[in-house]
Amino acid sequence: MRKVDVLDFRGSYYEIGLAHGRRLYNSEHFQSMLSKIKGISILDQDTEEIKNILKYFCPQLLDELKGLQEGIKYTESDVLRLFGGYDMPLLEMGCTSFITSDYYVRNYDFSPNIYDSTFVIQRHHGNNWICGNSELMLGRLDGMNHNVLTCGLHFVNNDPHKKGFIGSTIVRIILEMCKNVEEAIDLLKDLPHAASYNYSLVDRNGSFAVFEASPDMTNIHREKKSLSCVNMFQTGKMETYNQTNVDSSLDRLEALSHLSKTIKPVSEVHKWFSTQTSPVFYTDYEHFFGTLHTVSYVPKTYKINLTSPGGETQVISM
């Protein structure tokens, strides 16, 4: 299993996109992953529409895409279609998280063949930074920003599927544009959602929530002491959007229910998530359901713990 590389970039969005692209240009893993993505990508995406909607919601990402384009030596059209994160086919991915007012612990489950294997830190002017596990270079599977807002995605269903942003681009936009959970919820209400996802959130003030989003309807899920989030909607308002078979999610919720009864320190929860015998750790990599990383975000201390399967934990201080 590939270790997650921590990439620490500093500069403008364009400069960081360029540096990231140059690093990827000669990467065999990147080229292999890209060939798989091209095989399922939509060829008739409207690139002007992609540019306009990114400009409206998060214009700085267009500068980063320009740098990425130069770094990997692709056309603007190809970069927008492959990495813009709008009107794209959606891949099913598994994710489990446990959230309290003090920390956010999460496993990401998918295939190592379509996985960036990079945790990207972007430092811009002043104290403006974001960090997180990368998907398709521009997107984030989970992450934290300089306001110490943390957000992660959890796939729920591709049916219905409408024109909109994919989950990892939505996470990135939230991290770029929001200071706290309430701002994130307001923006999530406005963003066009291509499919059904949970977005788990926590901020420096100890506010936490799960935003349940489908292309047609949204809802907010809150609890007092902790929240467990998996690949299904848990509120009655949204349950009709769940897939028919949610057995795996129900199993994980049952396992997580024991954590909610006695809140443990983040180090213990992280270790439990990352242990391969844990009920929330999966190894079915051939069928796109293997744990690829365990990550813990601790907003009040600006620290992140990141563990690849079978590897040692990397401690990142922001």
pLDDT at 227: 97
Cβ contacts of 185 within 8 Å, gap of 6 or more: 201, 209, 211, 220
Q: What number is the average pLDDT over the span 157-163? A: 94
DSSP secondary structure code for residue 195 in this structure: S
Domain boundaries, the chain: 11-83, 94-317
Query: How confident is the model at residue 106, as a pLDDT?
Result: 97
pLDDT (0 to 100) of residue 93: 82
Residue 39 pLDDT: 64
Q: How confident is the model at residue 45 (pLDDT cuts 50, 70, 90)?
A: confident
pLDDT of residue 94: 86
Looking at residue 42, its pLDDT comes to 57
Q: According to the model, what pLDDT value does residue 83 have?
A: 93
For 237-275, letters b (16+ CB in 10 Å) and e give: ebeebbeeebebbeebbebbeebeeebeebeebbbbbbe
Confidence of residue 286 (pLDDT cuts 50, 70, 90): confident
Distance in angstroms (rounded) separating the CA atoms of residues 195 and 190: 14
pLDDT higher than threshold 70 for residue 165? yes
- Please list the residues that pair with 313 across neighbouring strands: 307
The answer to whether the beta carbons of residues 101 and 202 sit under 8 Å apart is yes
pLDDT for 91-123, tens place per residue? 678 899 999 999 999 999 999 988 999 999 999
- Per-residue tokens: 189: 């209400």
Q: How many whole angstroms separate alpha carbon 288 and alpha carbon 290? A: 6
| 43 has pLDDT over 70 | no
- Say if residue 38's pLDDT is above 80: no
CA distance linking residue 14 with residue 11, whole number of Å: 8
Look up the CATH superfamily of 94-317: Penicillin V Acylase; Chain A (3.60.60.10)
| pLDDT tens-digit map of 179-235 | 999 999 999 999 999 999 999 999 999 999 999 999 999 999 999 999 999 999 999
d(CA 173, CA 164): 13
Instruction: Identify the pLDDT of residue 90.
Output: 64
